[in-house]
């Protein structure tokens, strides 16, 4: 089954990748590895979830933000490589969660992205992960997700 059909079954669609606003590349390829810069929870041209988890944002909203970030990461991979399914295996995922000092559910928020990747990509979506709370993120986003060490396989 292809990626877009799996995403549709999950209630999502692959968005258009958002171009970087500053001086960096959204995707860098080094040999068989690809690195996707931190992706924000874009939806319909705006950051969909803003603020701090534990004060302005609920855990459920944070999970949605992580899913939207994950979708952007997949969109960036598809844009850079032409396709995702059968092409990539995720390596590591880093999830930054803008959090109040007392918020402790960063890992649960990060599960939003992790569960999306494994549901959309199957075994190729399994990855290692870091979930970390931070004081703030660009554009007041609640979550940011980066993909590192993505292995690019030859097309079948």
pLDDT band for 56, please (50, 70, 90 cuts). Answer: very high
> Once rounded to an integer, what is the mean pLDDT over residues 33-53?
97
Q: Please return the burial class of 123, using the count of CB atoms within 10 Å of its CB with bins 0-12, 13-18 and 19+.
A: exposed
pLDDT of residue 25: 97
Element (H, E) at 68: helix 59-81
pLDDT band for 85, please (50, 70, 90 cuts). Answer: confident
Q: Is 51 left (phi over 0), alpha (psi -120 to 50) or beta?
A: left
84 CA to centre of own chain: 14
The share of the chain scoring above pLDDT 70, in percent, equals: 97
pLDDT of residue 1: 58
The fold of the 3-15+25-152 domain, in CATH, is 60s Ribosomal Protein L30; Chain: A; (3.30.1330)
The pLDDT tens digits for 99-137 are 999 999 999 999 999 999 999 999 999 999 999 999 999
């Amino acid at each position: 089954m292809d990626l877009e059909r799996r995403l549709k079954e999950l209630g999502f669609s692959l968005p258009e990748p958002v171009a970087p606003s500053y001086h960096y590349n959204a995707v860098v390829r080094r040999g068989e590895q690809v690195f996707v810069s931190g992706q924000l929870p874009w939806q319909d041209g705006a950051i969909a979830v803003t603020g701090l988890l534990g004060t302005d944002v609920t855990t459920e909203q944070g999970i949605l933000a992580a899913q939207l970030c994950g979708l952007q990461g997949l969109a960036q991979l598809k844009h850079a490589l032409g396709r995702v399914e059968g092409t990539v295996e995720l390596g590591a995922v880093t999830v930054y969660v803008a959090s109040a000092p007392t918020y402790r559910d960063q890992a649960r928020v990060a599960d939003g992205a992790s569960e999306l990747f494994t549901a959309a990509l199957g075994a190729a979506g399994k990855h290692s992960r870091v979930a970390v709370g931070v004081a703030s993120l660009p554009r007041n986003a609640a979550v940011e997700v980066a993909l590192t060490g993505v292995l690019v396989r030859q097309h079948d």
